[in-house]
Structure 1
Amino acid sequence: MIPPRTTEGGRPKGWWRRNAVWLVLLPVAIVAAAGASSFRVWAYWWPVGLHHEVDRVAVGEPAHLAGEYLDLGYDVPERANTTVLREIDATVTSVEQADALPASSYGDPIPIPEGSIAYEVQVHFAAEPKTDLSLCQIMLVAEDGTRYGESPKDVLGSSNRCSMPDAEGFVSEQPEWDVTSFVLADPGAELTQVRLGFGGPEYVTVELP
């Protein structure tokens, strides 16, 4: 039989005393683990979606959108795997209800789905040539917070919503240009804002009258 551990005085040393150091360090380890877990959640969640409003203007006023992103070099090979600061000025010039949707770039006109209303959003952009425009989102926001048109792909099938229809690739080709984007919304929605971003987290808000 193995005798119990003793102190120098010969008295048995209890479990709590033997593990006192680890008990003191346990809360520190728990806090560190929680912090690491929180960072992983932040690193996954924060860059995805629009979380950080960087400018707010009225219709007809330019909004400045600036934010960093990791460029993979698909359209500009020399920027591959580098962090790039994207800066764009966007001016929403009008938001009007549309009676019909135009023909898509792939063929026949697309009917407005039953139970939806189509809105035509016109935006004027200004940016340095070769500015990355991928993941562009042009959405309408209702008074109750509902967001319409959140997908980077619009109702006409275009996945390049901030570029001109005949643009090649996903980068700007000239210093200024205009786009028209169509967004579907519920008939009873009271629209109050246009939000514009590029996948997040930064976005700009345009207040509707």
Structure 2
Amino acid sequence: MSGRRDWWRRNRWALAALPVALVAALAASSDRVATYYWHAGLHDARTAGHGEWFELHDEYTDGKGTHERVVRVRLDRTAVLTPAALRQVRVEVPSGARAVQVTLSLEADPDLPLALCRLALRDADGTRYDYQRPGAGEVTTARPMSPCVPGDTPGPSESLGRLDEVLSADERDPRPRSWTVEPVVVVPDDARVDEVLLWWREPVYVALDVD
């Protein structure tokens, strides 16, 4: 029985994404194609200047229904990492690219599931460079599984309904009410980054000005 519980826990990230994939599949096969495509992209921007707090009000749906999501976010800075800093955070950058470290401060209720966020940088031409989740054994401070919550205290996961009963309880400490993250995104050398994008559910996203 313990082996089965361990399997559910190891695969929780993939399982948590299943409701999203199912909703997308059902929407694509319905008559409301226009509505589906509206919700499939990032085109409902909520903007904030560099160093300004923004409070996002949104909704999310999990195995227990629809809930409100309220989270405050602030872009503190962006910085290009030096070769020495890259070695320290263990991030490999290919030739012709550079690594940009994004420092974000966030505030939210510790009981609010937030780990399934997405983060990206957007340049002056509108090109988007998404944060890439690390593979097995590649998780570091600069490349956590989730770019918007602390690696050691990510907080609760979204409910999987009845599957919650077979998952092992998360014994880590609760997420604090305020915290800072510093994920790294790799971009081309010639990209002029103008915005940091953060989102949980399309089409709504927060666009934070770099300058």
Q: Is residue 101 of structure 2 the alignment partner of residue 120 of structure 1?
A: yes
TM-score (norm 2): 0.66
Does the residue aligned with 1:140 lie in a helix, a strand or coil? strand
Structure 2 stretches lacking a partner, 5+ long: 1-28, 158-173
User: Quick one: structure 1 residues 158 and 199, their matched pair in 2 at CA, closer, same or farther if it must change by over 3 Å?
Assistant: farther
Q: Aligned pairs, how many?
A: 159
Give the partner amino acid of 1:177. W
Give the equivalent residue in structure 1 for 2:32: 39
Counterpart of 2:117 (choices 117, 126, 136) is 136
SS at 1:101's partner residue? Answer: helix
Report the Cα distance in structure 1 between the residues aligned to 2:79 and 2:156, rounded to whole angstroms: 26
Match of 1:164 in 2: 150
TM superposition shift of 1:148: 0.9
Flag the 1:56–1:168 CA change in 2: closer, same or farther, 3 A: closer
Quote the offset at 1:47 in angstroms.
Answer: 3.6
Structure 1 residues 169 and 102, CA, compared in 2 at 3 Å: closer, same or farther?
farther
Question: What SS does structure 1 have at the residue aligned with 2:183?
Answer: strand
State the match for 1:50 in structure 2.
42
How far did residue 120 of structure 1 move? 0.6
Contact 1:65–1:202 under 8 Å retained in 2: no
Give the counterpart letter for 1:60 in structure 2: G
Distance in 2 (CA, whole Å) between partners of 1:102 and 1:161 is 19
Equivalence map 1:6-45=2 (5 Å): 39-43=32-36, 45=37
Q: Where in structure 2 are the equivalents of 1:74-153 lying within 5 Å?
A: 80=64, 82-99=65-82, 100-101=85-86, 109-151=90-132, 153=133
8 Å CA contact 1:139–1:183 kept in 2: the answer is: yes
Q: CA RMSD in A?
A: 2.5
More helix by share: 2
Q: Which protein has greater RCO, CA pairs closer than 8 Å, 6+ apart?
A: 2
Unpaired runs of 5+ residues, structure 1, are 1-35, 73-79
- Alignment partner, residue 66 of structure 1: 57
Which digits, 9 at most, give the CA deviation of each residue in 1:185-206, with x for residues without a partner?
Answer: 1100111111111142211111
| TM-score, normalising length: structure 1 | 0.67
State which structure, 1 or 2, has the greater radius of gyration over its C-alpha atoms.
1
